[in-house]
Structures are given as structure tokens and as C-alpha cells.
Amino acid sequence: MVEKKNNKYKKLENKFKKMFRCDSVRISNPMNKFFLIIGYKKHTKDDTLSYYSDGDGNRIDFEYIDEQIIASGKNIKELIMSAKYYKSLQGMSWEEYFKKELKLPIKYINEVKETIDNIPEIPDLPDFIRREE
């Protein structure tokens, strides 16, 4: 029988899982700094930029967890504050971010918006690069 590792942060991890609507959560503490790592289930079938094959050139598809470190802190309290700050940024438009976080005047935000709006569109990928279904 395999013994489960005792995780003293399980309740907190479950709260973060609900908060970020993710598939996995880990709290890591290397070198006395806490990191919040969240993960989302993905599948290589949905990843058009990657191609995995066996030795014979046959495509191999599999599920995996795409993980990201989204928060950190010297202690659990700082980790929670960092995670809440990250959550506050989710869903925020870049205009809102510039206005709220960088406290830029509207004049500069409008200049940036105009510059971004004038960037030419990127053409579609050539057919030989696209993944065939």
C-alpha cells in the first residue's frame, strides 16, 4: 500500500483551485519561499504548434497538465496576498491595467491604444504549417 504524503496546505490548495477554476494546484516551498503553481488539463490534439511522434513518424497524442507559477511569497500570508492580486488582474483589459495599476493618464492610454489598433494583422499560416485534422 502506498502511503499518501501529508499535505498541510490541502485546504488552502482547494480554495485556490476554486478561485482559479483550474485542474491542479500545488504549493511549493523551495529555499524557504512559497510558490503557487496552478495547472490546466490540455491535450496535444488541441496544440497546433507542437507535434509529437514515435520513432516511425506516427503522431502521438496525450493529455498533460500545463502548469504556471502565478504567485509567490516569503510566507503563506504573502502567498495568499499575491494570489489575490493575480486574481484581480485576471479579466482586466490592458486599458484598465494601465489606468489602475500604472496610473497612466487617459491621454497616454489612448495613444497606446491607437498604436496597437494600427498594427497590421498577421496573415494566416501557410497550408504546409497547419496541422491536418
- Strand 34-43, strand 24-28: pairing: antiparallel
Q: Residue 108: inside a domain, yes or no?
A: no
Q: Residue 39: inside a domain, yes or no?
A: yes
Q: Residue 125: inside a domain, yes or no?
A: no
Q: Residue 107: inside a domain, yes or no?
A: no
pTM: 0.67
Q: Residue 63: inside a domain, yes or no?
A: yes
Q: Residue 114: inside a domain, yes or no?
A: no
Of 104, 86, 78, give the one whose Cα is nearest residue 20: 86
What is the rounded CA–CA span in Å between residue 129 and residue 133?
13
Residue type, 90: Q
Q: How far is CA 127 from CA 15, 48, 55, 132, in A?
A: 44, 13, 25, 9
Q: Please give the grid coordinates belonging to residue 10.
A: 490541502
Domain of residue 81 covers 10-90
Q: Residue 122: inside a domain, yes or no?
A: no
Tally the domains of the chain.
Answer: 1
Residuewise pLDDT in 10s, the chain (133 residues): 444 555 789 999 999 999 999 999 999 999 999 999 999 999 988 887 777 888 888 888 889 999 999 999 999 999 999 999 999 888 888 778 777 777 767 777 777 777 777 777 766 655 555 555 4
Q: Residue 75: inside a domain, yes or no?
A: yes
